[in-house]
Structure 1
Amino acid sequence: MGNEYRAKVFKSGNSVALRLPKQLGFAEGEDVVIAPHADGSFSLWRERESAQVLMSLYGSMSEGFMAEGRGDTGQDARDWAHDRGVAAA
């Protein structure tokens, strides 16, 4: 793991904001993506790097990922005649 940095959360209007250390290299006004995880942690990356982040995930699943299949993926039969003329949302 790389360097560890500390950050402060503070109130900004009706929101809370996160003050990031300058050493992380983010520029003022730069757009970032914050992805929450089920365990309460977060991932943060520059929006312009989203494609690289996605590609870095390719092949990162464990060997046993989906070993038991997808589970229940069945769908109910659809009455296509009844749905005619109804636009998709």
Structure 2
Amino acid sequence: MSEEYKAKIFKSGNSLALRLPKALGLKEGAEMTLREDHGRFTFEPAQNDRKIDVSKFAGKVPWLEPLPREDFDDSPRDWHLLGRDASGA
């Protein structure tokens, strides 16, 4: 059985806001998706498409050695194959 709550609309800056009861268990800053269908509104937590930053993970595994950068040397390229001169223009 679902619960029924009352919420109040108020002005916040140039927008309207909906004050939701704490009993819903929502967290401040949570993103929600709001849908309107013929005057009926529904909302649900937004899909979380967050990307994980793994840039600081290398220090977590001290036995992992960084790969040598030798394959990234700036070797001469055959620009003529692209129809360009040696300057790349």
C-alpha root-mean-square deviation of aligned residues, in Å?
A: 1.4
Partner of 2:13: 13
For normalisation by structure 2, the TM-score amounts to: 0.51
Partner AA of 2:41 in structure 1: F
Partner AA of 1:10 in structure 2: F
Q: Shift of residue 25 of structure 1?
A: 0.9
Aligned residues: 48
Partner of 2:40: 41
Q: Give the greater-gyration-radius structure (CA).
A: 2
25 and 4 in structure 1: CA distance in 2 versus 1, 3 angstrom threshold = same
CA distance in 2, matches of 1:23, 1:45: 15
SS in 1 for 2:23: helix
**4+ residue segments displaced more than 6 Å:** none
CA distance in 2, matches of 1:16, 1:22: 19
In structure 1, stretches of 5+ residues that fail to align are: 50-89
Q: Shift of residue 48 of structure 1?
A: 3.2
